Amino acid sequence: MKKIAVILSGCGYLDGSEIRESVLTLLALDTLKVKYDIFSLNEDQYHVVNHLTGNVQDNEKRNILEESARIARGKIEDLTKINVDNYSSLIIPGGFGVAKNLCSFAFDGINAKVNPIVLKIIHAFHSDKKPIGAICISPALIALSLGANKPSITLGNDKNLADEIEKTGVSHHKCHTADCIIDEKNKIVTTPAYMDDGINLADAYQGISKLVKAVIELS
C-alpha cells in the first residue's frame, strides 16, 4: 500500500499553510483511499499575522508544529522524525508559511535559503525517484531546492513571477487553477491553487485532485 508524506507549514495562509489547500489535499487522498502521515517543523514560525486585519503581531510567537496540528487534528509528527523509506511520495500544500517558515522566498526571492531539514528531505525524495507534489507557492520551494535538475513547474499565470523563478533553472508553465503540470522525468507535479486569490474552491479542488492522482500514478 502506497503511503504519502504531507508537510504543513503552520495554520493560516498569511503565516502558515493555506488551510483550504491543506484540507483539500487530505480530502483528495482520502477519496482515493491513500494512506498518509502529516509532518511539520518543530520551530517558531517567522512571525504571526492577524488574519482579520493582515497586521503582523510583533509580540506574539507561535510554533509551526503546534499550529499545523490544528489542521491535522493532532495527528502530526516532528519533521525530523520522518523516514523517507516509509513513503512513496511527498506533497506540500501552499500558504505563505512555505515561503516564510520552510524557506525565505517571501523575503529573499530566488536568493532565499531553504530550511536545512526541509532541503534534506526534498533531496531524499528526489534522489530516491519518489514523486513530489507542490501546491500554490510550494513550487518555489521546489525550484530553490531542485532547480539544478531543471524541473518543469507552475506558479500560475504571473509572468513576472515566472520570469524570476526560472532564474533558479526551472522551466515555468502557465496553468489554470483546475489543472496541474506534470514533470514525468523529475516526478514533480505542481498546481497553482490560491496563487490566484480570485479562484473558486471547486477549481482549487479539481487542480489539487489532479495533482494527487498524478503523484500516485508516478509512484
What are 44-56's pLDDT values in tens digits?
999 999 999 999 9
Mapping DSSP to helix (H, G, I), strand (E, B) and coil, where does residue 214 land? helix
Mean pLDDT of 69-81: 98
- For position 74, what pLDDT does the model report? 97
State the Cα–Cα distance between residues 152 and 137, nearest whole angstrom.
14
136 in catalytic set: yes
Nearest residue to 13 via CA among 133, 203, 193, 181: 193
- For position 80, what pLDDT does the model report? 98
Q: Where are the alpha helices (DSSP H) in the chain?
A: 19-31, 64-72, 96-97, 105-108, 116-127, 138-146, 159-165, 201-218
- For position 111, what pLDDT does the model report? 96
Catalytic residue among 11, 103, 136, 175: 136
Please write down the HEC assignment for all residues of 108-148.
Answer: HHHHCCECHHHHHHHHHHHHCCCCEEEECCHHHHHHHHHHH
Mean pLDDT of 175-180: 97
State the Cα–Cα distance between residues 79 and 41, nearest whole angstrom.
5
Mean pLDDT of 167-175: 97
Q: Is the pLDDT of residue 1 over 70?
A: no
What are 13-49's pLDDT values in tens digits?
999 999 999 999 999 999 999 999 999 999 999 999 9
Q: Is the pTM of this model over 0.85?
A: yes
What are 97-139's pLDDT values in tens digits?
999 999 999 999 999 999 999 999 999 999 999 999 999 999 9
- For position 2, what pLDDT does the model report? 80
Write down the CATH superfamily of domain 3-218. Class I glutamine amidotransferase (GATase) domain (3.40.50.880)
- Residue that is written with C-alpha cell 524570476 in the block: 164
What are 133-170's pLDDT values in tens digits?
999 999 999 999 999 999 999 999 999 999 999 999 99
